[in-house]
Chains A and B, each alone.
Chain A
Amino acid sequence: MIRDITIGQYYPKESGVHQLDPRVKLAGTFVYMISMFCFHRFLGFLFVSLFLGWIIKKSEIPFSYIVKGLKPILFLLVFTMVINALFVDGHIIWSWGILKISVEGIRKAVFMGIRLSLLVLGASMMTFTTTPNHLTDGLEQMLKPLRKLHVPVHEISMMMSIALRFIPILLEETDKIMKAQMARGADFETGGMIKRAKNMVPLLVPLFVSAFRRANDLAMAMEARCYRGGEGRTKMKPLRYQQADYIAYGILIGYIVILMAGLRYIPNLWTIIG
């Protein structure tokens, strides 16, 4: 049940995308997300999805698996679309009481829906192709300049990697405790909001207890291995850019240039039709 959530998980493969430097992927995700907010035309989506599709193909991860990552945000997606459809003013084509749907509303709803989906899919591509450790390594490297401002970069990235590392463990634990309580007749599925929330107590208390126990054990284990923060700490596998990484940066620049240029110079079909 709980294991079906695929978003934010690593998908082991040996593809080119997997082997890229995490800094490239972080920068790429960043640029990708910003690029999504640089246009207000559907044409942009065509281009963005082509780009994303190409990366997905390169990453060798089955498409169906990636789409499953959208499931947890389905509610948010539908909610956003409905709100947009109902509350954007414009040329009204249907109304009932205070509810009204306009052409512009529908357009906006579809636009937002696609944008949100593409955002989530793109961001999840990063976690699918990068191990949590790699990811935090990359982040640490990129944020290093902030150390001058006394930002505890190493500590933050260590906390992040521990947090990420613990997600699957805690999910498994949740699954186990859930089953154990169900074996004692607990019911997590029926009842109203309040009853359901109350029913979560037998799940949440043991989960917190075990999370604290694990945190304690981990702290001990780190201490036992003389962990003392980032000062003077070296890496077994320091990050170094390879040729593929430079090419990837090139592709990224190409992507943003073509997107911007395309949006500027290709005439707007919407206004022609509309």
Chain B
Amino acid sequence: MLIIIDHLSYKYKDVVEKDEYALRDINLKIEDGEFVGLIGHTGSGKSTLMQHLNGLVKATEGTIYYNGEDIYESDFDMRALRGKVGLVFQYPEYQLFESTIFKDISFGPKNLGLPQLEVDLRSYQAMKDVGLSEELIDVSPFSLSGGQKRRVAIAGVLAMEPEVLILDEPTAGLDPKGREEILHLIRRLHKEKKCTIILVSHSMEDMADYVQRLVVMHEGRIVLDGNKRDVFAHEEELCMLGLAVPQVTTLTNQLRKKGYTFTKDILTVAEAKEELLLLFR
């Protein structure tokens, strides 16, 4: 058992008028090695919730347990937690600052207080993991393309070797090829490094392709939580929340209404292909 969010609420102190709840009574359990997708409308509290998980934002009510330890306990080592729960913000390339890529990636592990050799090893490994070639070690991160910059930024978090990796819309603003590369990278981290992954995204297709479990948020609450198949079975509810199911699911649902029968709910194009071929056999 890794993370337990227990009756967590967060009141956002509005500068002007009354206080408003950004998160209300969130209960969530995330197990070791899970690949969780988090979807929700803009302003549904996804990012706020993510920032709670590594202690950047402190809850007004409720608490979070990490490996059974209450993270709001006064003797809890918050710095260590930030090393264990890696958070990749939206547009992370805007946080690059060092003169070389390697130095930028080492920033995280260095802050963890590791010996220099370990810092270098981890940074090098992270660079390799995200697929940056060795020639780039001494290049300034500001001279790279957008997609490359993002890899550097992700490597900067990976170099801390987190147990949990949270990514807030890691593919926003990238071209299709860049998107796929980043998502493949995330999948590989999950499979090979046994990282627990929490992925925030607006793309239902990405969710259908990559995650196992899906959590849906709306107005600061969790409204749906379960296997992605079970969640995407609620097409109507999702539409009401301003979300959607993958396009191919909409298509097959429409076909089903026309009288075609499928053996299961379809989430990806590959699945649809198989099922459709079965129909025409």
Q: Which residues of A contact B (CB under 8 A)?
A: 3, 6, 9, 11-12, 176-177, 179-187, 201-202, 204-206, 209-210
Give B88 Cβ to nearest chain A Cβ, in Å. Answer: 8
Interface members, chain B 103-156 (any A CB < 8 Å): 107-108, 110-112, 142, 156
Contact B16 A184 (CB under 8 A): no
Contact B82 A12 (CB under 8 A): no
B76 within 8 A of A: no
Contact B111 A184 (CB under 8 A): yes
B241 within 8 A of A: no
B260 within 8 A of A: no
Q: Contact check: which of A182, A185, A202 meets B160 at CB < 8 Å?
A: A185
B40 within 8 A of A: no
Contact A206 B97 (CB under 8 A): yes
Give B162 Cβ to nearest chain A Cβ, in Å. Answer: 10
Give B49 Cβ to nearest chain A Cβ, in Å. Answer: 14
Q: A185 vs B16: C-alpha distance in the bound complex, in angstroms? A: 32
Q: Chain B residues near A182 (CB, 8 Å)?
A: 56, 82
> Which A-chain residue is minimally distant from B113 (CB atoms)?
A185
Q: A180-B89, A183-B89 are in contact. Are A206 and B107 (CB under 8 A)?
A: no
> Which A-chain residue is minimally distant from B157 (CB atoms)?
A184
Give A185 Cβ to nearest chain B Cβ, in Å. Answer: 3
Number of interface residues of B (CB under 8 A): 26
Contact A206 B96 (CB under 8 A): yes
Contact B82 A185 (CB under 8 A): yes
Q: A3-B15, A186-B107 are in contact. Are A181 and B82 (CB under 8 A)?
A: no
Q: Chain A residues near B54 (CB, 8 Å)?
A: 183
> Which B-chain residue is minimally distant from A201 (CB atoms)?
B97
Q: A99 vs B54: C-alpha distance in the bound complex, in angstroms? A: 49
Q: Chain A residues near B60 (CB, 8 Å)?
A: none
Q: Chain B residues near A11 (CB, 8 Å)?
A: 16
Contact A186 B86 (CB under 8 A): no
Some 8 contacts from A to B, beta carbons below 8 A apart, are A9-B15, A176-B94, A183-B54, A183-B86, A184-B108, A184-B160, A185-B108, A202-B95
> Which A-chain residue is minimally distant from B111 (CB atoms)?
A185
Q: A3 vs B16: C-alpha distance in the bound complex, in angstroms? A: 11
Q: A210 vs B111: C-alpha distance in the bound complex, in angstroms? A: 24
> Which A-chain residue is minimally distant from B153 (CB atoms)?
A180
Contact B94 A177 (CB under 8 A): yes
Contact A210 B94 (CB under 8 A): yes
- Interface readout for B47-58 with A: 1 if CB under 8 Å, 0 if not? 000010010100
Contact A202 B56 (CB under 8 A): no
Q: Chain A residues near B142 (CB, 8 Å)?
A: 209
Q: A177 vs B82: C-alpha distance in the bound complex, in angstroms? A: 15
Contact A202 B16 (CB under 8 A): no
> Which A-chain residue is minimally distant from B108 (CB atoms)?
A184
Q: Chain B residues near A184 (CB, 8 Å)?
A: 82, 95, 107-108, 111, 156-157, 160
Q: Chain B residues near A179 (CB, 8 Å)?
A: 51, 56, 89
B87 within 8 A of A: yes
Give A88 Cβ to nearest chain B Cβ, in Å. Answer: 39
Q: Contact check: which of B51, B83, B92, B97 meets A185 at CB < 8 Å?
A: B83
Q: Chain A residues near B13 (CB, 8 Å)?
A: 3
> Which A-chain residue is minimally distant from B99 (CB atoms)?
A205
Q: Given A6-B15, A184-B157, A209-B94, list of 6 further CB < 8 A pairs?
A: A12-B16, A183-B87, A184-B160, A187-B79, A187-B111, A206-B97
Interface members, chain B 64-94 (any A CB < 8 Å): 79, 82-83, 86-87, 89, 92, 94
Q: Which 5 A-B pairs have the closest CB atoms?
A: A185-B111, A205-B97, A184-B108, A180-B95, A183-B87
Q: Chain B residues near A6 (CB, 8 Å)?
A: 15
Q: A11 vs B157: C-alpha distance in the bound complex, in angstroms? A: 39
Q: A180 vs B51: C-alpha distance in the bound complex, in angstroms? A: 10
Q: A186 vs B56: C-alpha distance in the bound complex, in angstroms? A: 12
Interface centre among A11, A185, A205 (most CB of B within 10 A): A185
Q: Contact check: which of A3, A176, A177, A202 meets B107 at CB < 8 Å?
A: A202
> Which A-chain residue is minimally distant from B112 (CB atoms)?
A185
Interface centre among B13, B79, B97, B112 (most CB of A within 10 A): B97
Q: A182 vs B97: C-alpha distance in the bound complex, in angstroms? A: 14
Give A77 Cβ to nearest chain B Cβ, in Å. Answer: 22
Q: A183 vs B164: C-alpha distance in the bound complex, in angstroms? A: 13
Give A43 Cβ to nearest chain B Cβ, in Å. Answer: 36
Q: A210 vs B96: C-alpha distance in the bound complex, in angstroms? A: 11
Q: A3 vs B12: C-alpha distance in the bound complex, in angstroms? A: 11
Interface members, chain B 16-37 (any A CB < 8 Å): 16
Q: A12-B16, A185-B83 are in contact. Are A176 and B89 (CB under 8 A)?
A: yes
Contact B112 A181 (CB under 8 A): no
Contact B15 A181 (CB under 8 A): no
Give B241 Cβ to nearest chain A Cβ, in Å. Answer: 26
Q: Contact check: which of A183, A187, A205 meets B157 at CB < 8 Å?
A: A183
> Which B-chain residue is minimally distant from A202 (CB atoms)?
B97
Give B99 Cβ to nearest chain A Cβ, in Å. Answer: 9
Q: Chain B residues near A183 (CB, 8 Å)?
A: 54, 56, 82, 86-87, 89, 157
